[in-house]
Structure formats: structure tokens, C-alpha cells
Amino acid sequence: MRALDIAGTGMQAQQTNVEVISNNIANMTTTGYKRRRAEFQDLMYQNLRRVGSNSSDSGSVVPSGAQIGLGVKTAAIYRISEQGTLQQTSNSLDLAIQGNGYFQVTLPSGDTAYTRDGTFALAADGTIVTSDGYSVAPGITVPANAQSVTINGSGQVQVTIAGQTAASTVGQIQLAVFPNEAGLDAQGDNLLLQTTASGSPTNGNPSAAGFGSVMQGFVEGSNVNVVTEITSLITAQRAYEMNSKVITASDDLMQTLTNLK
């Protein structure tokens, strides 16, 4: 009985859907998190009567045929890259991107990772680093005698040093944009890696054409909409229940056949 297997694929698909939604809700307060959305595709079909086949020797053609679907499968889990809400922190090393782009982070392996999480700090040597201690490219060092750090919308890092009237520029933060942001490979810790699907990054200064601006003293919150996620969760739960009812009904049909004498 095909209905058992079909309903089984439906329950598996909705389980995946609930898992994606639960991950979104769990990360509703994660800095720079981008919500995910599960996409599904129907499985292959069995042709009981092929559409377009001849129904007689005179050449008459079957107009619609008879196909039975075999269920559903998970096609993709997309990352939705819409802007998250900017939250003011008043921390001079907290940065948020307003618009397109990713901060670049140098991993211990030497590889470059990408993130929208701009909660930065200073290492012991004055280098600007992430909360895990990874250097923010291109490796900017703030002097130990700096009294204040200012980062403008174009990513210029300027410091005020005691005894000097004018601010000194110590570095330039650059952003990276990708042809396909959804193709980036999530690694956890708010880090993403380049893949063949994402394409090669284009680097540039903030506020340049095609790049977002940097806002000091802010961080970008998650773009998860709790109301939407709860609504989707209820829909997925009801779809799961309906597929389970199909399995129950199929079992009742098989029980009826078993009891035939």
C-alpha cells in the first residue's frame, strides 16, 4: 500500500521543518543570525497511464494520463539574508553592518571566515579580534596608549592618543560580498565559509557602491520573527498529524483486508 510510504515521507519532511523552525527560535537572540527556511519537492511519480500515449489505433491521445506521486523530500534549507534589527550597545568595538557585506575573520588555520557578528574586542597585543580571539581582517592593532577608538561608516579605524590633537588612522575594515550568500557554508560560532556555490567574494570598503555601511556602538540582531515562526510551527505540527492520520487510515484498510474471509 503506497499510502503508508507516502505518509511516512510526509512525516519525515515535517519533522525536518520543525527542526529548522526550532533552530530559528533557539537563535532568536543570536547576534547576526539569519533565519532558515526549509523547501520541499515532490518525489518521482508512477505512471498508471502515461500522458500523451495513444489510446487507440486511430491515433487518439490520452489527454492527462494517470500518475501517482510517491511522497515528498527535502530539497534545500535556505538562509534568508534580510537585515536584522540594529541594537545599540554603546561599546566602541561593537560594529553592525547596515546593508550588504560580511566582516572577514582569519581563523587559526589561516583560512578566512565571514560573519555578520560584530561583537569585537581587543587582544592583549591590541589587535581587534572576535569573541573567540580570531583576528578581524586585515589585522588592525590599536596602540596601548590610545584613549578612544572611533570607527566611521566607511570602516576607517581612528584612535585618539594622549598629547596629540588630531586623531590617527590605524587601519581600514573591509567587507566582503558574495554572488550567492545562501551558498555560504555555516560552521557554527556565527562563522561562514566560502563554497563553490557562494562564488568568490568581492572585497571593498564599507559605504562603497554595493557595500553596506558600518555603525559603531551597534550590533545586528537576529532577523527571526517569532510570530511567523510560531505560526509556521503550528502549521508543521498539523501537517505532521494529518500524515499520521493517513498512516492510521491505511492501517485500518489493511486490517479490513486481513479480516476478509
Looking at the structure, do residues 182 and 196 belong to the same domain, yes or no? yes
C-alpha to C-alpha distance for 121 and 141, rounded to whole angstroms? 11
Per-residue confidence (pLDDT) for residue 65, from 0 to 100: 74
Looking at the structure, do residues 96 and 12 belong to the same domain, yes or no? no
Q: What is the pLDDT of residues 6-33, one digit of tens each?
A: 999 999 999 999 999 999 999 999 999 9
Looking at the structure, do residues 63 and 50 belong to the same domain, yes or no? yes
Per-residue confidence (pLDDT) for residue 179, from 0 to 100: 94
Structural contact between residues 74 and 13, judged by C-beta atoms closer than 8 angstroms: yes
Domain with 175 in it: 86-220
Looking at the structure, do residues 11 and 60 belong to the same domain, yes or no? yes
Looking at the structure, do residues 234 and 208 belong to the same domain, yes or no? no
Looking at the structure, do residues 71 and 23 belong to the same domain, yes or no? yes
Looking at the structure, do residues 55 and 108 belong to the same domain, yes or no? no
Q: Give the three cell numbers for residue 34.
A: 539569519
Burial class (CB in 10 A: 0-12, 13-18, 19+), 185: middle
Looking at the structure, do residues 58 and 144 belong to the same domain, yes or no? no
Q: What is the pLDDT of residues 50-65, one digit of tens each?
A: 777 776 677 777 777 7
Looking at the structure, do residues 185 and 248 belong to the same domain, yes or no? no
Q: Provide the domain count of the chain.
A: 2
Looking at the structure, do residues 148 and 35 belong to the same domain, yes or no? no
| pTM for this model (two decimals) | 0.85
Mean pLDDT in order along the chain per 10 residues (261 residues): 89 96 96 95 84 73 79 93 92 94 94 95 93 92 89 92 83 95 93 95 94 95 95 95 92 85 67
Per-residue confidence (pLDDT) for residue 261, from 0 to 100: 67
Q: Give the three cell numbers for residue 179.
A: 554572488
